[in-house]
Amino acid sequence: MSAPPSISVDGARLLRRLDELAHIGAIPGTRGCSRLALGDGDRQGRDLVVTWMRDLGLDVTVDGVGNVVATMVGWDPDVAPVLAGSHIDTVDRGGRYDGNLGVLAGLEVIERCLELGLRPPRPLAVAFFTDEEGSRFAPDMLGSLVYVGGMGLEAALEVRDRDGFAVGAELERIGYRGAAPCPARPPAAYVELHIEQGPILDLEDVTIGAVTGVQGISWTEVTFEGQANHAGTTPMHLRRDAGYAAAEVAVAVRTIVAEAGGHQVGTVGSLRLVPDLVNVVAGQATFTVDLRNTDEGALQAVEARVAARIAAVAAAEGITVSSRPLARFEPVPFAPEVVDLVETTAAALGHSCRRLPSGAGHDAQMLARVCPTGMVFVKSQGGISHNPAEHTEDHDVVAGADVLANVMLHLAAATAPPEV
Amino acid sequence: MSAPPSISVDGARLLRRLDELAHIGAIPGTRGCSRLALGDGDRQGRDLVVTWMRDLGLDVTVDGVGNVVATMVGWDPDVAPVLAGSHIDTVDRGGRYDGNLGVLAGLEVIERCLELGLRPPRPLAVAFFTDEEGSRFAPDMLGSLVYVGGMGLEAALEVRDRDGFAVGAELERIGYRGAAPCPARPPAAYVELHIEQGPILDLEDVTIGAVTGVQGISWTEVTFEGQANHAGTTPMHLRRDAGYAAAEVAVAVRTIVAEAGGHQVGTVGSLRLVPDLVNVVAGQATFTVDLRNTDEGALQAVEARVAARIAAVAAAEGITVSSRPLARFEPVPFAPEVVDLVETTAAALGHSCRRLPSGAGHDAQMLARVCPTGMVFVKSQGGISHNPAEHTEDHDVVAGADVLANVMLHLAAATAPPEV
């Protein structure tokens, strides 16, 4: 086995496709777009990408939950591909790069290989997974979760949005309830190019991020029940102020996170008071705590400290607590050999590179359950994402796609099936 | 001049009227009612109380802002009355005692005097003032403010609710835009019976509160502008978290108030985050600070400390601040001789009594600008008010009305006009 050649993608073509896809569901006056999963915009986006896939002569399959996989043809069907992918659904008011970049860059890698007449030891493939954002159907990363067998197909098809529309019925409606089986046969490896959605690469002016894994996520919703009272007539020592108690917890989360250090982050992003009036002591407060860490043990320790603080604050204020978990994912480490490969490939192409964990969830964390997996990050200007203002410079887009291309070819070579 | 006789009101009649009035705008399944100022419920309530006033043969006047005053007849029109009063409008979901008690008890005092054939040195009168609650038209205590000349009539008539309806037009619609002049000629004295709307009398099991004055009130709305960011990908040290900063201020308000001590209270009762999502660092937080104290200097000192803390927190978090005053009233002390009179009258009637300031605003604070003024408080069970569950025991209602009656008679005697 010889080392694969170093290739460059056709950057202009990739950027054209990114732009064309972004016109579907475009948000007027912005460069962003809105294509919620399985809506009409998503259908049009899917149709466009599938047309591009078919135009390249790829074998396009659609599975029961609407995941679309396009594979190079001409290999023994038992030879698992090296898969690139991501998603093309967006949040309600999203940017043009999130998800779309990974899919269109994977397609570009395949097209470039076909143009160059390269035949890797394994086929290359590109996928887009259903409902990664979770903005319409919970949980997020639904399609890739089903793809790897983490959720049964029947259960997934019954998931409903808040208007009562089910995933299954919506797939039928838009013509993307396919016949390919779920869970799918695992690919030989999976690589996902994505914008960072955070500020690190931009701040440090580093072109490529070699993603070490995805942070563990712990989301909890807490409700404090105190007593609504007149803000003028209720002495301070008689108050059972749910709003004050929630504020104390929000401040404590910052302190606990700082003391934990490392990759720990923590956020109280939602906080609602009842009755929420200037002259009434809040009788009820509902707030969320979002804790993330790349280390499961450290995350659990912080969860325990926050829970203890919530209990202590509530007891001191004489209020009752109820809480419910909204989400809990353990950290997902990516395959060390793939992380190394991203780093060495970036260096070989002359790009600055650093390792970093992903703070956001990605389809790659699902694929990591079934095959060697890694991710390539490129800059998000100002760290802004999930926002029409999301922006990545053209040269960074192309740099990321070049790294993706060469990582995929290396993976195809490194995992070459035995000669028969 | 001899001391006036001690009289007792007809408690059953007073309670019957309280109940009858509470049936207008009654909230099903509760003992509370909803009669927003100048709405149809308020009109029906006004019509009922005015009917009772006329049935007693009183001289009923309606002024330009809808304040209604009913005065005993048979005195020289230049002899100013001793006035009782309060309001019959309610908050959106209010109780049956707030305001109504003071009006109907004043009416009961007059009816009892007429029954007993008592002729005080001055006429007694009872008033209900328009829009005391301010739940529909800002500011609160609008009618009594205009009554004492604190706001011009034309300006008051132009005040609009959030649907655009003006006070003047609504007064016309319900038939309560009267001809009596504003500001009115000051009464000789003013006394208002009211439920405490706080827990002190109930907690200490004291029947009568001799109200020393009304707290000064400072309401400020503060908006923090930080930067909305991904809760997973934004390192802690790069955050400009408006929600965190607001929570820090809410905690600081509690600390500053505790350090100030005395009658100081402080509340962050409203707090709203944008975008208010579990996984997004809040880019904007809007919250209110309600500070009250009976001492103007102390209140100003606390205002300054809170403002300094807001600025410091914002600077540390790298966020911008804008704030606007929502309300600012200096403390209003009541006439010492009236406070003394309430106390001695309660004692003479065998009721336990304590002095206390009012944490809530009342029409009495407006009347205090133009005549000797005092208030009589009775218990609010559990301190609950502005709530359909508002409750005061029958015997406390009657005790308060008895104190009101004898205070009014003493005031009429103490301020007897010169014999002519």
Q: What are the tens digits of pLDDT across the range A333-380?
A: 999 999 999 999 999 999 999 999 999 999 999 999 999 999 999 999
Closest by Cβ to A281, choosing from B257, B267, B361: B267
Q: What are phi and psi of A52, to 5 degrees?
A: -60, -40
Give strand pairing partners of B62: B68
A267/B241 CB distance under 8 A:
yes
**Closest CA–CA distance from residue B407 to any residue of chain A (Å):** 24
Tell the burial category of A47 from Cβ atoms under 10 Å away from its Cβ (0-12, 13-18, 19+): middle
Cα–Cα distance measured from residue B250 to residue B388, given in angstroms and rounded to the nearest whole number: 29
CB-based contact A70:A127 (threshold 8 Å): yes
CA A338 – CA B233 distance, rounded (Å):
22
- What is the spatial distance between Cα B327 and Cα B220, in angstroms, rounded to a whole number? 7
Average confidence (pLDDT) over B379-396: 93
Burial class (CB in 10 A: 0-12, 13-18, 19+), B261: exposed
CB contact under 8 A, B359 and A230: yes
Write phi, then psi, for B69 (nearest 5 degrees). Answer: -125, 130
Can you spell out the DSSP letters for A91-152?
A: -TTB-SSTTHHHHHHHHHHHHHHHHHT---SS-EEEEE-TTSS-SSSSSTTHHHHHHTTSS-
Q: Cβ of A265 and B215 within 8 Å?
A: no
pLDDT at B314: 98
Minimal Cα distance from B281: which residue of A? A269
Calculate the average pLDDT of chain A.
95
Residue B3, pLDDT score: 65
Q: What is the pLDDT of residues B135-185, one digit of tens each?
A: 899 889 999 999 999 999 999 999 999 899 999 999 999 999 999 999 999
- Interface contact B233-A198, CB threshold 8 A: yes
* Contact across the interface for A279 and B269, Cβ inside 8 Å: yes
| Chain A from 94 to 153: CB within 8 A of any B CB | none
- Tens of pLDDT, residue by residue over B192-247, are 999 999 999 999 999 999 999 999 999 999 999 999 888 998 999 999 999 999 99
pLDDT-derived band at A419, boundaries 50, 70, 90? low
Q: Number of C-alpha atoms within 13 angstroms, CB side, residue B276?
A: 11
Which of B215, B247, B137, B197 minimizes the C-alpha distance to A280? B197
* A169–B contact, CB cutoff 8 A: no
- Residue B1 confidence (pLDDT): 43
Of residues A250, A281, A326, nearest to B278 (C-beta): A326
CB proximity B91 to A under 8 Å: no
Contact of B323 with chain A, judged by CB distance below 8 Å, is answered with no
Q: How confident is the model at residue A52 (pLDDT cuts 50, 70, 90)?
A: very high
Q: What is the pLDDT of residue A3?
A: 65
| Residues across chain B | 420
Q: Does B198 touch chain A (CB under 8 A)?
A: yes
Q: Which two tokens stand for residue A251?
A: 């401040």
User: Which pLDDT band holds residue B2 (cuts at 50, 70, 90)?
Assistant: low
Mean pLDDT for all residues in chain B: 95
* Distance, first Cα to last Cα, chain A: 14
Distance between CA atoms of A97 and B68, rounded to whole angstroms?
Answer: 67
Residue B21 pLDDT grade (very low, low, confident, very high; cuts 50, 70, 90): very high
Q: Is A171:A179 a contact under the CB 8 Å cutoff?
A: no
pLDDT tens string A291-303: 999 999 999 999 9
pLDDT at A1 over 60: no
pLDDT tens digit string along B302-321? 999 999 999 999 999 999 99
Q: How far apart are CA B158 and CA B144, in angstroms?
A: 16
Helix/strand/coil for A272: strand
Cα-based torsion angle of the residue sequence B33, B36, B38, B43 in order, rounded to the nearest 10 degrees: -10
The per-residue pLDDT for B367 is: 98
Q: Identify the band that residue A129 occupies on the pLDDT scale cut at 50, 70 and 90.
A: very high
> Are the C-beta atoms of B133 and B91 separated by less than 8 Å?
yes
B288 — contact with chain A (CB < 8 Å)?
yes
CA distance B334 to B296: 15
- Shortest CA gap B67–chain A (Å): 25
Choose among A38, A63, A141: nearest CA to A99: A141
Return the half-sphere exposure (C-beta side, CA atoms, 13 A cut-off) of residue A148.
20
Q: What DSSP assignment string belongs to B193-225?
A: EEE-SSSHHHHHT-SEEEEEEE-EEEEEEEEEE
pLDDT at residue B20 above 60? yes
In this predicted structure, the answer to whether residue A41 has a pLDDT above a threshold of 90 is yes
**Contact yes or no for B231 and A265 at CB 8 A:** yes
CA-CA distance, A36 to A165, in Å (whole number)? 13
How many helices (H) and strands (E) in chain A?
A: 12, 16
Q: How many CB atoms within 10 Å of residue A289?
A: 26
CA distance B212 to chain A (A): 14
Phi, psi of A225 (to 5 degrees): -115, 110
- For residues A42 and A87, what is the distance between their CA atoms, to the nearest angstrom? 10
CB atoms A290 and B231 under 8 Å: yes
Cβ A265–B326 below 8 Å, yes or no? no
> B353 by DSSP, 3-state: which?
strand
Q: Out of A219, A251, A267, whose CB is closest to B281?
A: A267
Query: Closest-CA residue in chain B for A247?
Result: B247
Check if A316 contacts B (Cβ < 8 Å).
Answer: no
Structure tokens at A211: 């993603």
| CB contact at 8 A, A168 and A177 | yes
| Contact status of A389 with chain B (Cβ, < 8 Å) | no
Residue that the structure tokens 């019959």 belong to:
B88
* Amino acid in the structure at residue B382: G
Q: Is A66 helix (H, G, I), strand (E, B) or coil?
A: coil
Contact B238/A203, CB-based, under 8 Å?
yes
Can you say how many angstroms the Cα of residue B99 is from the centroid of all Cα atoms in its chain?
Answer: 8
pLDDT of residue A2: 52
Identify the residue with better confidence: B278 or B343: B343
Contact assessment for residue B33 and residue B26, using Cβ atoms and an 8 Å cutoff: yes
Write down the number of H helices and E strands in chain B. 12, 16
Q: Residue A231: what are its φ and ψ, rounded to 5°?
A: -70, -20
Least Cα separation, residue B419 to chain A (angstroms): 44
Task: Name which of A1-5, A12-16, A121-125 the model is least confident about.
Answer: A1-5
| Residues of A (348-387) whose Cβ lies below 8 Å from B | 358-361, 383-387
User: Per-residue pLDDT for B420 more than 80?
Assistant: no
Tell me if A219 and B386 make a contact (CB, 8 A cut-off). Answer: no
- What DSSP letter does each residue of A338-373 carry, written as one string? HHHHHHHHHHHTT--EEEEEESS--HHHHHTTTS-E
Widest distance between CA atoms in chain A? 86
- The burial class, CB within 10 Å (0-12 / 13-18 / 19+), for B291 is buried
User: Closest approach of chain B CAs to the CA of A216, in angstroms?
Assistant: 10
Task: Answer yes or no: do A359 and B233 touch at CB < 8 A.
Answer: yes
Share of chain A above pLDDT 70, in %: 99
**What is the average per-residue pLDDT within B347-362?**
95
Is A31 exposed, middle or buried (CB count within 10 Å of its CB: 0-12, 13-18, 19+)? middle
pLDDT of residue A216: 95
CB < 8 Å from B in window 13-42 of A: none
Residue B359 has its nearest CB partner, among A197, A232, A361, at: A232
Nearest to B233 among A251, A268, A383 (CB): A383
Give A-chain residues touching B241 at CB under 8 angstroms. Answer: 267
pLDDT tens string A195-233 = 999 999 999 999 999 999 999 999 999 999 999 888 998
Q: How far B72 CA sits from the closest chain A CA (Å)?
A: 35
Of residues B199, B230, B258, nearest to A359 (C-beta): B230
Q: Which of A196, A200, A278 sits opposite B269 (nearest CB)?
A: A278
pTM equals 0.82
Q: Give the three-class secondary structure for B146.
A: helix
Rounded Cα distance, B210 and B375, in Å:
7
**Complex ipTM > 0.85:** no
Q: Shortest CB distance from A269 goes to which of B231, B258, B360?
A: B231
- Contact assessment for residue A224 and residue A285, using Cβ atoms and an 8 Å cutoff: yes
pLDDT value of residue A244: 98
The single residue listed with the structure tokens 């408690």 is B11
Confidence of residue B283 (pLDDT cuts 50, 70, 90): very high
Angle between helices A100-116 and A11-22 (to 10 degrees): 140
Q: How many CB atoms lie within 10 A of CB B63?
A: 24
The alpha-carbon gap from A179 to the nearest alpha carbon of chain B, in Å, equals 35
The whole-number pLDDT of residue B419 equals 59
* Residue B325 CB burial class (10 angstroms; 0-12, 13-18, ≥19): exposed
Is the CB of B385 less than 8 angstroms away from the CB of A233?
Answer: yes
- The residue in chain A having the minimum alpha-carbon distance to the alpha carbon of residue B362 is A232
Q: Which residues in chain B are contacts of A248 at CB distance < 8 A?
A: 247, 251
Between CA A269 and CA A267 the distance in angstroms is 6
Residue B251 Cα, gap to closest chain A Cα (Å): 6
Q: Does A237 touch chain B (CB under 8 A)?
A: no
Note whether B234 contacts A268, CB cutoff 8 Å: no
**B204–chain A Cβ distance below 8 A for any pair:** no
Ramachandran sector of residue A77 (left: φ over 0; alpha: ψ -120 to 50; beta: rest) = alpha
Chain B CB within 8 Å of residue A251 CB: yes
Contact B235 A276 (CB under 8 A): no
DSSP B260-328: H-TT-EEE---EEEES--TTEE-SEEEEEEEEEES-HHHHHHHHHHHHHHHHHHHHHHT-EEEEEEEEE
Angle, CA of B395, B396 and B397, to the nearest 5°: 90
Q: Mean of the pLDDT values across residues B271-279?
A: 92
CA-to-CA distance for A243 and A283, rounded, in angstroms? 7
Alpha helices in A261-320 (DSSP H): 296-317
What is the 8-class DSSP label of residue A2?
P
Distance from CA of A32 to the nearest CA of B (A): 17
Contact across the interface for A278 and B288, Cβ inside 8 Å:
yes
Phi-psi region of B213 (alpha: psi -120 to 50; beta: other; left: phi over 0): left
Task: Please compute the mean of the pLDDT values over residues A239-260 and round it to a whole number.
Answer: 98
- 3-class state of residue A159 by DSSP: coil
Residue of A140, A85, A8, A78 whose CA lies nearest to A374: A85
- Count of CB contacts below 8 A, A vs B? 195
Percentage of chain B with pLDDT > 70?
A: 99
For B248, name the nearest residue in chain A, comparing CA atoms only.
A251
Cβ distance of A248 and B244 shorter than 8 Å: no
Q: Which of B232, B310, B136 is nearest to A140 (CA)?
A: B232
What are the tokens at A290?
């979002």
Q: Is residue B304 less than 8 Å (CB to CB) from chain A?
A: no
